[in-house]
Amino acid sequence: VTSGGATAIEGVCVDADRSPTAFAAWVSPHLPAMARLAARLVGSADRDDVVQDALGRAWRKWGTYDERRGTARTWLLAIVAGESRRPRWRRWPTRRLDDVADVPGGTDAFVDVDLERAIRDLPARMRLAIDCVYFVGLSVAETAAVMGVTDGTVKSTLHDARQRLRTTLEVSE
């Protein structure tokens, strides 16, 4: 019989502080990226809820985190991505950019509305790749870890997405 978490929890407990405060300190450097990814995936209104839900889940699973399989940043971002796919956040893809306020930061900053609209019309996988790389600021390798695919798949997905965006924007213009 093998265990999904007890061993790791025990292993970490030996030499690490597992308190909520220690967890908060551990995740704090990654909060901006987590918030950015959540904002892209579910919109600004639900961003904080998704981040807190993801943090709760990460806290429960902290003992299973294995640094050999990826960085803390990609581990946390993958949890955010998974949390954003839950049905209660699914209403996001149907939103439209009819009001600028729906675009995060839209009222105070220049927003390329056509580009945002074109991105939101992309298939989910392409949209996630574009969001991760250009808006969250992840590398290709980090994006691959978040999406659960290989680097090559991310590159080809980005290429296809850019091609589709180019076509869409050329037609609309």
Partner 1 sequence: VSDIESRLDRAGRQWQQAQPAPPDVDLGRLGRTRERRWIPLAVATAVVAVVAVAVVLPLGRAAKHPLLSPSSPAPPPSPSASVHREDLDGDGRIDTTTLRWVRHSRTAPFRGVVRVSIDFGGGGRTSYDVRISRWIDPADQERLTVPSFGTSQVNAVDGLEIVVTSDDGAASYRTYRVLTLSGKRQLQPVPPPGRRGWVTGASVGTGALGYQCNEASILRVSSVPVRHGYAVHTVTYHWDGSQWARWSSERRVQRRSGIGAWSCYGLENL
Interface positions with partner 1 (CB under 8 A): 1-6, 8, 20-21, 23-24, 27-28, 31-32, 34-36, 39, 44, 47-48, 51-52, 55-57, 59-61, 64, 66, 69, 75, 78-79, 81-82, 85, 87, 104-106, 108-112, 115-116, 125, 130, 134-135, 137, 145-150, 152-153, 157, 162, 165-166, 169
Q: Residue 57 — φ and ψ, nearest 5°?
A: -70, -40
Distance CA 59, CA 53 (A): 10
Give the dihedral sign, CA 102/108/109/114: positive
Give the pair of three-digit tokens for residue 29.
Answer: 């450097």
Could you tell me the smallest distance in angstroms from the CB atom of residue 31 to partner 1?
4
Residue 105 C-beta-side C-alpha neighbours within 13 Å: 9
Q: Which is nearer to partner 1, 14 or 145 (CB)?
A: 145
Could you tell me the smallest distance in angstroms from the CB atom of residue 74 to partner 1?
9
